[in-house]
């Protein structure tokens, strides 16, 4: 069987591009080179390039996503999408690749756009009985009545950009006086803000993926942050413990895995997703879902994959082969 040409898309236009480059590097290192031709593709604000092993850049032709490998022109058979934030996690590239007829490993463009907008995703899932924190939504330019907000969400609460990841722009607010600076920080990342009650309980994260049409749920990870919450430092700079499997009861494990699979099914997802929950009084409360979760060496999904008894080479191969499934 001929080796497939796999373009590993990484980078992006958001504050998360550095994390994405790390994730893409892990994929390139881990893919089976006996089965695949592997091409790192950097999608950045200053250009789209195939970057070869010597660091030489070859521009990507956006009309068909082709590029040179130094000897011939390549049109990839499949895209492995590792872009966090826009344009890889919010549906823009998924729609583009779908128009070109190139399969890709992440979910579809509508599901990506919906889940990337925390506000809209929560609004949809609440209608299906998914338990979430109390929340309040604000757009840039709105008249903001902090007293009204706090009547609904209480203190402490979280202020988050609706469309950002890696905890960029997120603050935990403990007092009335902290709210305005937190809003200003969040508005630097997005024009839509979500303010949520700070739930009290065990934070867990659960990966779900599709294999030959069947939903598979990974062992949950418990997140214990040294900081006030699971912020950028906790996620990427070692200021947290990420314990896999989570130190929760069998009943709580089953409950959170069931809820993660339910959300994946309700939103008609594809590829790998990672959903975050707070288990409060034994009940999982949904926080958010990530459709291109981090897969750098410090990230949660690789730890769950190893706990499930797979190598990253095996797991990434499953994601690629399932990208061809209709």
Asked if 202 contacts 222 with a C-beta cutoff of 8 angstroms, the reply is: yes
Output the tens digit of pLDDT for each of the chain's 326 residues.
689 999 999 999 988 899 899 999 999 999 999 999 999 999 999 999 999 999 999 999 999 999 999 999 999 999 999 999 899 999 999 999 999 999 999 999 999 999 999 889 999 999 999 999 999 999 998 988 999 999 999 999 999 988 765 567 889 999 999 999 999 999 988 899 999 999 999 999 999 999 999 999 999 999 997 756 545 554 545 567 899 999 999 999 999 999 999 999 999 999 999 999 999 999 999 999 999 999 987 789 999 999 999 999 999 999 999 999 87
CA distances for 324 relative to 8, 260, 271, 293, angstroms = 16, 24, 11, 20
Please report the pLDDT score of residue 324 as a whole number.
Answer: 93
List of residues 6+ apart from 191 with CB closer than 8 A: 139, 140
Please report the pLDDT score of residue 214 as a whole number.
Answer: 94
Q: How far is CA 35 from the centre of its chain?
A: 27
Please report the pLDDT score of residue 99 as a whole number.
Answer: 98
Please report the pLDDT score of residue 234 as a whole number.
Answer: 47
CA distance linking residue 283 with residue 252, whole number of Å: 7
Asked if 161 contacts 114 with a C-beta cutoff of 8 angstroms, the reply is: no
Of the candidates 80, 99, 87, the residue with the CA atom closest to the CA atom of residue 271 = 80
Ordered by where they begin, the domains of the chain are 4-106 (3.40.50.20), 114-131+200-323 (3.30.470.20), 135-197 (3.30.1490.20)
CA distance linking residue 106 with residue 10, whole number of Å: 13
Ramachandran bin of 60, using left for φ above 0, alpha for ψ from -120 to 50, beta for the remaining angles: beta
φ, ψ (nearest 5 deg) of residue 101: 80, 25
Please report the pLDDT score of residue 238 as a whole number.
Answer: 59
Please report the pLDDT score of residue 201 as a whole number.
Answer: 94
CA distance linking residue 211 with residue 234, whole number of Å: 31
Q: Residue 195's beta-bridge partner residues?
A: 136, 159
CA distances for 248 relative to 274, 282, 286, 293, 311, angstroms = 18, 9, 16, 23, 25
């Amino acid at each position: 069987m001929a080796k497939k040409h796999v373009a590993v898309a990484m980078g992006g236009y958001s504050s998360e591009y550095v994390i994405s480059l790390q994730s893409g590097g892990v994929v390139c290192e881990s893919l089976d080179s006996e089965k695949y031709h592997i091409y790192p593709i950097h999608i950045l604000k200053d250009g789209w390039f195939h970057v070869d092993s010597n660091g030489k850049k070859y521009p990507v032709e956006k009309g068909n996503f082709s590029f040179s490998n130094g000897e011939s022109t390549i049109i990839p058979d499949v895209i492995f999408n590792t872009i966090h934030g826009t344009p890889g996690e919010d549906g823009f590239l998924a729609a583009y690749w779908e128009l070109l007829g190139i399969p890709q490993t992440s979910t579809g463009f509508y599901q990506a756009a919906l889940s990337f907008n925390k506000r809209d995703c929560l609004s949809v899932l609440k209608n299906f009985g998914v338990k979430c924190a109390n929340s309040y939504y604000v757009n840039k330019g709105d008249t903001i009545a902090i007293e009204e907000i706090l009547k609904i969400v209480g203190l402490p609460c979280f202020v988050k950009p609706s469309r950002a990841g890696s905890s960029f722009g997120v603050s935990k607010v403990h007092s009335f006086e902290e709210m305005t600076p937190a809003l200003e920080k969040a508005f630097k990342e997005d024009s839509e803000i979500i303010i949520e009650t700070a739930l009290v309980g065990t934070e867990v994260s659960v990966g779900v993926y599709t294999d030959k049409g069947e939903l598979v749920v990974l062992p949950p990870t418990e997140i214990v942050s040294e900081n006030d919450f699971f912020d950028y430092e906790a996620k990427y700079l070692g200021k947290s413990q990420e314990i896999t499997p989570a130190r929760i009861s069998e009943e709580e494990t089953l409950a959170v895995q069931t809820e993660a699979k339910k959300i994946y099914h309700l939103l008609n997802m594809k590829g790998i997703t990672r959903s975050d929950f707070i288990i409060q009084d034994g009940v999982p409360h949904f926080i958010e879902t990530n459709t291109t979760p981090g897969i750098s060496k410090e990230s949660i999904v690789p730890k769950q994959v190893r706990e499930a008894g797979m190598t990253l080479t095996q797991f990434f191969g499953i994601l690629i082969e399932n990208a061809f499934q209709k």
